[in-house]
Structure 1
């Protein structure tokens, strides 16, 4: 993950685990001694937002930017101007958690002028157990609709195929095959294979992409 470009944009359909991955990814960077900022750009879906873990992220020294108005209990359909700081300041490792569909990606489009090709990565989180991304055609349609709206290019895939705490090795391997086919069609690599820690330890070591064990941070134990 240290070899990724400094600005990392994380996209993925609703239920893909995009935010779970983003939060774990940011924490991993912080644990490696990086100066990290995370932007919650999801102004469409009010549930399982990365900004909900503000205090946890702050405890790791991670700066959080979002559309939430502190003390109001509400969000605005816009993002704080503070996002431009870590976007332009090269001392930051910057993670951007973007809305789950092309409508949500419109927020990213406003920063197009700051996203220089070769200076950012945009990773698409794929969950092969979600209806919209169960097929190669579905994943490609999702990627292309995000790219059109955001005017940014996907540079890598993340296999995050899961059934929450009921995830099995077989689920992840099913998703890996789907990602392999999408990778071949679009000529973009599989960058990460993420799974809960109990599953990640049993995955084959020769999978394409870095295996990234993740903690269930966004969902409480009772969920």
Structure 2
């Protein structure tokens, strides 16, 4: 991951993760923030704007991020009222800081960042659309296309400013074979229209994958685990 992030940092300062619910955006965003903080001399600010679910949110490991010198931002949610933390626009514009934004799943989560679209579509921002082939809303091309259209439409992010990130996993038990098979499925589904730019996999199985995929592989450490998964 270090080499990939070093290359991205040459002309990107903002990293935004959108996509389907349950695709693993939060895990990837957490990994990005920690590695960016270790790589760069610039302060790293993490914005958790996920207001669509009560579990598996970045804020659950905010202490870990803070230990890694990542400044963590989020707003408490009350009942079903969506809220967004302050300071997003200012930090997106500040060339002296790095920003990582974990956006809530599907179009309902994406609408919270729609107001920042002029900055999300600038050359200094890298948007990632995360696809997990083992989720029901990635079962075929129609499902993937529909999810992308709704999410990017609500966020007002232009497709030309998006990198596709494949994150094929079924949780802590995901094998290398399952990851490769899931990545191949997405590639086959979208190949005529889009290409996969990056693939993510649990760091323990990456050695068995790296020579079997054609795209850059990002090892992911799982931080969002809970007692019933241990």
TM-score scaled to structure 2, two decimals?
A: 0.86
The 5 Å alignment of 1:169-180 reads 169-180=176-187
Q: Secondary structure at the match of 2:6?
A: coil
Does the Cα contact within 8 Å between 1:136 and 1:178 map onto a contact in 2? no
User: Would you say 1:213 and 2:219 are equivalent positions?
Assistant: yes
Name whichever structure is richer in helix by fraction.
Answer: 2
How many residue pairs are counted as aligned between the two chains? 219
The 5 Å alignment of 1:72-221 reads 77-154=82-159, 155-181=162-188, 183-187=190-194, 189-205=195-211, 207-220=213-226
Query: Which 4+ residue blocks in structure 1 deviate beyond 6 angstroms?
Result: none
- Find the partner of 2:60 among 30, 35, 52: 52
Residue of structure 2 equivalent to 1:2:
6
State the alpha-carbon separation in 2 of the partners of residues 2 and 136 from structure 1. Answer: 33
Q: Which runs of 5+ in 1 are unaligned?
A: none
State the alpha-carbon separation in 2 of the partners of residues 119 and 32 from structure 1. Answer: 18
State the alpha-carbon separation in 1 of the partners of residues 93 and 118 from structure 2. Answer: 11
State the alpha-carbon separation in 2 of the partners of residues 76 and 31 from structure 1. Answer: 35
Change (3 A) 1:186 1:92: farther
TM-score scaled to structure 1, two decimals?
A: 0.88
Q: Which runs of 5+ in 2 are unaligned?
A: none
State the alpha-carbon separation in 1 of the partners of residues 47 and 192 from structure 2. Answer: 30
RMSD, aligned α-carbons:
2.1
